[in-house]
Amino acid sequence: MNIKHLHEAPSLTTALTGPLHALETHLLDQQNAIETWFRQQWLINKPPFYASVDIRNAGFKVAPVDTNLFPAGFNNINQDFVPLCVQAIQAALDKACPDAARVLILPENHTRNKPYLDSISTLQDLLTQSGYNTRIGSINPEITEPTTLYLESGKNITLTPVHREGDRLLADDFDPCVILLNNDLSSGVPEILEGISQVITPPPDLGWNKRLKSGHFEFYRLLAKEFSQLIDIDPWFFDPLFRNCGELNFMERKGEDCLAENTQKLLNDIQKKYDQFNIDATPYVVIKADAGTYGMGIMTARSASDVHDLNRKQRTRMSTSKGGNAINQVIIQEGVPTYETWGDINAVAEPVVYMMDRYVVGGFYRVHTKRGTEENLNAPGMHFEPLAFDEPCNVPDSGIDPDASPNRFYTYGVIARLALLAAAREIHAVSTDEDS
Amino acid sequence: MNIKHLHEAPSLTTALTGPLHALETHLLDQQNAIETWFRQQWLINKPPFYASVDIRNAGFKVAPVDTNLFPAGFNNINQDFVPLCVQAIQAALDKACPDAARVLILPENHTRNKPYLDSISTLQDLLTQSGYNTRIGSINPEITEPTTLYLESGKNITLTPVHREGDRLLADDFDPCVILLNNDLSSGVPEILEGISQVITPPPDLGWNKRLKSGHFEFYRLLAKEFSQLIDIDPWFFDPLFRNCGELNFMERKGEDCLAENTQKLLNDIQKKYDQFNIDATPYVVIKADAGTYGMGIMTARSASDVHDLNRKQRTRMSTSKGGNAINQVIIQEGVPTYETWGDINAVAEPVVYMMDRYVVGGFYRVHTKRGTEENLNAPGMHFEPLAFDEPCNVPDSGIDPDASPNRFYTYGVIARLALLAAAREIHAVSTDEDS
């Protein structure tokens, strides 16, 4: 399916758009108050360098379901938004790096994941166009000398192994003033990054070795409550409910009862909200590795018995996350169906919003032809087509329908920035912990 | 001529593009150093809220010929760049106005100049989309109550007379935190603006009542020299030579000899530069009111005798500037022909670059079908067509020809930002004067 030149946003295929219209209308009406509130928040909470947020639009609810602080997928953003990225990068790095203007990207260790390498190449281009001398480093033990990889796009990137000189991290003789981390450090912070004197952004302590999804959504929950008072709407309309248990082990069935019990409690809580707002849908939850990424270690459940009835293969799948790391903690999150579909084939579409500094710089839809409305669209081995947003999410138009494309994208931009702000508070909390 | 949907940049119709290619290549090669230099400059010099710069491209030279701190023409910018404007406005006002988010635009007193009103309406839209509650005030004595004007675009704007309450300026009960001046104050700072406690930006002391073009180009000359060392190219390639005299009076022929003499000196200086760089062209100068605007009080001269030989009508024309203000000081500026032409009809095109805060946000070409390459294209009563830039000037591409459209626009963006920086230094000098 060639969707490069389409400017058609996915349609909402649910009749349950009443509450969504209410949310969108509230956001449009209160745009000045909302932007003022964000401004004040950014004066207190420094935004991370970048982030992407997976959003699900159920028609009756729009909510973030994952916030990635080391985003890939930059190759999927609309080329028209490059100037926005350039401006945002300049705003983000101006103060961090006024003198030297040398940035080292530190990516994942992948060398064969072509879409990922395309994203890194795009990120390098964006930084170069912003006026930064940019190289790509590598902490992959297999990369022992500068290695050029050729991409399907016809471009190529060169990975240069990093080394230490005292407290500085260098790639060959390239001595960066900023290290831009694009590695989620699922397996921990490597020794070579410890105690270096250069700025590393986002901070390594926000890698999946330390960060928990439930921690993020705890910050988000508080923010959603605060924000709901500003726009006078129940926070549930943009906040996914969640619960978690302590340690568990899927193979040994340790913690299974707790998980089943909390699953049932959460399903009941969702049903209560559905009843409160007259929503005719069947609750489900998504159980994910609390430090998981890459769509690994994810299952859905519609009842407590779904947890008890897992077969051996399913238990194995729920036991291991990226890099072979064991899953011993999960978040049970309210399932938010995505009722956005694209084209005649009714492919399911999930929006992903990209931000740099405090600015929304675009996004794309993950469009799947073979997945259902309740499934996770970012799964290993699953094929998706990126459908670039044709709107940059920062230009609402109060003169048109609240669900018209610039306004729906504005809503996504607001929700994504709430998640970004939650991440900023996480970062602040981590730094404060370290300071104390 | 319907040019709304064209994405064709004007062509350079001169064979003299050798030095231009050298300049463009230098700028592309040194992009990192240039952007780093600008970054450092903006840490020291706060950019004005907005500015537009008229640029002329002679093929052998690209230079700013006027820098407007109260720009009109926002209606002519490519709609695709609205997100860039929004981001820049947010960057500019974030710190000035973190709490209240109320902006009052204070425009010129025009009520019948439709293109101007369209520009003000666009500016209001941009501020609204950036999340600012925005009204348009008026200091026009004819506007005694809120007055709605209907524009050709189908939109309308409401002018509300301003009044003082103590040291605050209000429009009705609207109490702004920032006053955005779009009035060049050619006739002086009105009493109602004196000593108000709100931020006025740009500062009224930069109005044409106090500012002189020769002052601006003096700052620009110093900057051009500094910048030329960075990129290792003679500053003349992007700096227009100029001279000025003291007081003069065209009607009374006071100061005429001084003007003629300096005109000749400048013509000789230009010829020397032409000889130095083997440029086969005939020097000319442009004589403009030193505090002039709106294309009023402008003439060209190719010899000292052009100054002596002015007829009565020409003298009258050179005696009065905008608002009937007398011209008693002029700048004699090197004439830079514009060799950019558009379409089959070879219409002359002059680029105008727009900036907000420190960001280039787009621009347009003034396209004239009835003017020559050496004439001023911003003249009263002259019809021009706006041709929106299809590139935002901040995304150079080193992989293509230096004169390809993104790179030519990058060159314009660099030159325009040099002029912006000169204006920032002017503002700083004015504020320092006041502080001392």
Give the pLDDT confidence score for residue B2 in this predicted structure: 32
Instruction: Give the pLDDT score at B417.
Output: 96
Place of tokens 């997945």: A371
Residues of chain A neighbouring B85 (CB-CB closer than 8 A): none
The shortest CB-CB distance from B35 to any of A33, A131, A397 is to: A131
Q: Do B101 and A32 touch (CB under 8 A)?
A: yes
Q: How many beta-carbon contacts under 8 Å exist across A and B?
A: 97
State the pLDDT at residue A3.
33
Query: Which among B31, B33, B87 has the least Cβ separation from residue A359?
Result: B87
Strands A156-165 and A168-171: antiparallel
pLDDT at A4: 33
Which residues of chain B lie closer than 8 angstroms to A407, CB-CB? none
Residue with tokens 């002017």: B426
- CB contact under 8 Å between B395 and A32, yes or no, is no
Q: How far apart are CA B324 and CA A235, in angstroms?
A: 60
CA distance A197 to A400: 51
Of A33, A83, A94, the CB nearest to B395: A83
Residues of B in contact with A94 (CB under 8 A): 39, 42-43
The model scores a pTM over 0.90: no
3-state secondary structure of B213: helix
For B281-316, the three-class secondary structure string (H helix, E strand, C coil) is CCCCEEEEECCCCCCCCEEEECCHHHHHCCCHHHHH
Q: Where are the alpha helices (DSSP H) in B339-397?
A: none
Q: What is the pLDDT along chain A (436 residues), one digit of tens a residue?
A: 333 333 345 666 666 666 677 788 888 888 888 988 998 899 889 999 999 999 999 988 999 999 999 999 999 888 878 888 988 998 888 766 666 689 999 999 988 888 899 999 999 999 998 889 999 999 999 999 999 999 988 889 999 999 999 999 999 999 999 999 999 888 889 999 999 999 999 999 888 878 889 999 999 999 999 999 998 899 999 999 999 888 888 888 888 899 999 999 999 999 999 999 999 999 999 999 888 766 677 889 999 999 898 888 888 888 887 777 788 889 999 999 988 877 766 778 888 999 999 999 888 888 877 666 666 666 554 556 677 776 767 777 777 777 777 777 889 999 999 999 999 999 888 776 554 4
Q: Which residues contact B108 (CB under 8 A, 6 or more apart)?
A: B72, B116, B182, B183, B184
- Measured between beta carbons, the chain B residues lying within 8 angstroms of A33 are 101
Cα separation of A118 and A136, whole Å? Answer: 13
Q: B101–A35: do the CB atoms touch at under 8 Å?
A: yes
Contact flag A39-B130 (C-beta cutoff 8 Å)? no
Put simply, the answer to whether A83 touches B40 (Cβ < 8 Å) is no
Query: What was the ipTM of the complex prediction?
Result: 0.70
Chain B residues close to A406, C-beta within 8 Å: none
Contacts B87 to A, Cβ<8 Å: 84, 87-88, 91, 359, 394
Looking at residue B436, its pLDDT comes to 39
| Tens-digit pLDDT profile for residues B9-22 | 566 666 666 667 77
Give the residue from A162, A160, A231, A248 showing the smallest Cα distance to A198.
Answer: A162
Residues of chain B where predicted confidence (pLDDT) is lower than 70: 1-19, 95-100, 293-295, 344-345, 370-385, 390, 392, 432-436
- When CB atoms are compared, the residue of A32, A91, A394 closest to B132 is A32
- Strand partners for A137: A160
Interface test with chain B among A29, A36, A230, A417, by most B beta carbons within 10 Å: A36
DSSP E strand boundaries for B151-191: 156-165, 168-171, 178-182
Interface contact flag, B94 A43, Cβ < 8 Å: yes
Q: HSE on the CB side for B66, CA within 13 Å?
A: 26
Strands B168-171 and B156-165: antiparallel
Cβ contact, residue pair A35, B90, below 8 Å: yes
Annotate A217-230 with b (16+ C-beta within 10 A) or e (fewer): bbbbbebbeebbee
B38 contacts on A by Cβ (under 8 Å): 131
Query: In angstroms, rounded to a whole number, what is the distance separating the alpha carbons of residues A286 and A332?
Result: 6
Nearest-CB residue to A39 (from B84, B98, B395): B98
**DSSP-assigned letters across all residues of A369-393:** SS--TTS-SS-TT---EEEE-SS-S
- Please, which residues have CB within 8 angstroms of residue A354's CB and are 6 or more apart in sequence? A50, A51, A52, A71, A73, A74, A77, A360, A361, A362, A363
DSSP one-letter string for A19-65 = HHHHHHHHHHHTHHHHHHHHHHHHHHSPPPSEEEEEEEE-SS-EEEE
What chain A residue is nearest to B155 in terms of C-alpha separation? A399
- B92 by Cβ neighbours in 10 Å (0-12 / 13-18 / 19+) ranks as buried
Which whole-number Å values give the CA distances from B77 to B156, B352, B355, B361, B389, in the listed order?
19, 10, 11, 9, 7
CA distances from B311 to B305, B308, B314, B316 (A): 12, 9, 5, 9
> What's the CA gap between A233 and A22, in Å, rounded?
9
Closest by CA to A171, choosing from A152, A147, A195, is A147
Instruction: Return the pLDDT at B397.
Output: 74
Q: Which residues contact B323 (CB under 8 A, 6 or more apart)?
A: B186, B187
Taking alpha carbons only, the member of A398, A275, A270 closest to residue A336 is A270
Beta-strand runs (E) in B192-307: 199-201, 242-244, 285-289, 298-301
β pairing state of B385-388 and B359-368: antiparallel
**Beta carbons of B42 and B86 less than 8 angstroms apart:** no
Give the SS3 label for residue A167: coil
Which single residue is written with the structure tokens 């839209």?
B125
Tokens of A297: 């270690």
Q: Where are the beta strands (DSSP E) in A229-279?
A: 242-244
pLDDT digits (tens, 9 = 90+) for B232-287: 899 999 999 999 888 888 888 888 899 999 999 999 999 999 999 999 999 999 99
Say how many C-beta atoms besides its own lie within 10 A of residue B80's C-beta.
Answer: 17
Residues of A in contact with B396 (CB under 8 A): 129
